[in-house]
Structure 1
Amino acid sequence: MAGGERTERVAASPEACFALLLDFERYRTWQSTVRRCVVLERDDAGRGRVVETEIDLKVRRARYVLRYHYDPPRRIWWDYVEGDVRSISGEYRFDPVGEDATDVTYAVDVELGFAVPGRVARAVAERSLATALRELRVALEA
């Protein structure tokens, strides 16, 4: 299993962070690793409940389906349903800092389920954490 946790401060409210991450259909426009993202099922509030995503891991492409859970506007987390990886779980947390900033924490644990040396899996996970938060910050501050 590979994964980790990272926090980055962004110049946006927790509500803006939460809203950006709810817009699954736009992920391809600001997340460089996402090749496809489709909402398969929505909850009573219209938010994506079951979402299929295909990403480019550089070592290969992977498809997975996640079930999302929400605690607006403070937290979004997910559970693995199915796909090319063995398991994936994680969360985004949004902690306000003053009136115009948020500490965004991204945590993820992934078990790829295909042959990749442990150090490569850890490097992919670390790069994924850093890239996801950087791209989130850029999208929010644009």
Structure 2
Amino acid sequence: MATAEFKEVLPVDRDKLYAAIIRYEDYPKFVEGCTKVVVDRKPGGKVRCTYHISMMKNVVYTLDHVEKPEKGEVHWKLVDSDTFKMNQGRWKIKSAGEGKTDVDYEVDVEFKIPVPSFLLNRIVKGSLPAMMKGFQKQAKK
């Protein structure tokens, strides 16, 4: 299992960042490797998304998300995957002043096949900086 965490204040409006986070269908435009997202919204801030990712091989997985906009939170957990044994995490964002957002992101993943921890950590943690830049850029559009 690999855990990755990102905690930083980003120079972007909190509401705009939250909107970028929950527009899952737009992820292929700015999340590296994401080729398609099928979104099924349900009442009460519940959203089921099936992600199609291209990383070394094509990966498909489904996550259930719970959105809490008033708290600036999104939590998710794995429903189905051909590759992941576990994929769960959360966003927690809050305003840090005008045009700034305190971002707290955490993800825990485990693959169904054995992956050396040094490689798993590089895959999970190594992608975070680029991913955050993508969300920041998308939120500023």
1:72 alignment counterpart: 69
**Aligned-pair RMSD on alpha carbons?**
1.7
| Aligned partners of 2:33 and 2:53 also within 8 Å | yes
Deviation at 1:115, TM superposition (A): 3.5
Cα gap change, 1:94/1:137 in structure 2, threshold over 3 Å: closer, same or farther? same
List per-residue Cα deviations over 1:92-134 (Å, max 9, x = no partner): 1112111211022221000011242221011101112222212
Question: Matched residues in 1 for 2:116 and 2:57: separation?
Answer: 14
- May I ask how many residue pairs the two structures share in their alignment? 139
- Where 1:27 maps in the other structure, the secondary structure is helix
Q: Which runs of 5+ in 2 are unaligned?
A: none
Question: Matched residues in 1 for 2:23 and 2:60: separation?
Answer: 19
Question: Matched residues in 1 for 2:121 and 2:57: separation?
Answer: 15
| Aligned partners of 1:90 and 1:107 also within 8 Å | yes
2:50 alignment counterpart: 52
User: Structure 1 runs of 4+ off > 6 angstroms?
Assistant: none
1:62 alignment counterpart: 59
The residue type equivalent to 2:4 in the other structure is G
1:94 alignment counterpart: 93
| Aligned partners of 2:47 and 2:65 also within 8 Å | yes
Say whether residues 1:125 and 2:85 are aligned partners.
Answer: no
| Aligned partners of 1:106 and 1:133 also within 8 Å | no
List per-residue Cα deviations over 1:51-88 (Å, max 9, x = no partner): 0001123x333211000001114111101101121110
2:19 alignment counterpart: 19
| Aligned partners of 1:10 and 1:141 also within 8 Å | no
- Where 2:87 maps in the other structure, the secondary structure is strand
Deviation at 1:48, TM superposition (A): 6.1
Q: Which runs of 5+ in 1 are unaligned?
A: none
Q: How many percent identity over aligned positions?
A: 23
The residue type equivalent to 2:58 in the other structure is R
2:136 alignment counterpart: 137
- Where 1:86 maps in the other structure, the secondary structure is strand
Deviation at 1:13, TM superposition (A): 2.3
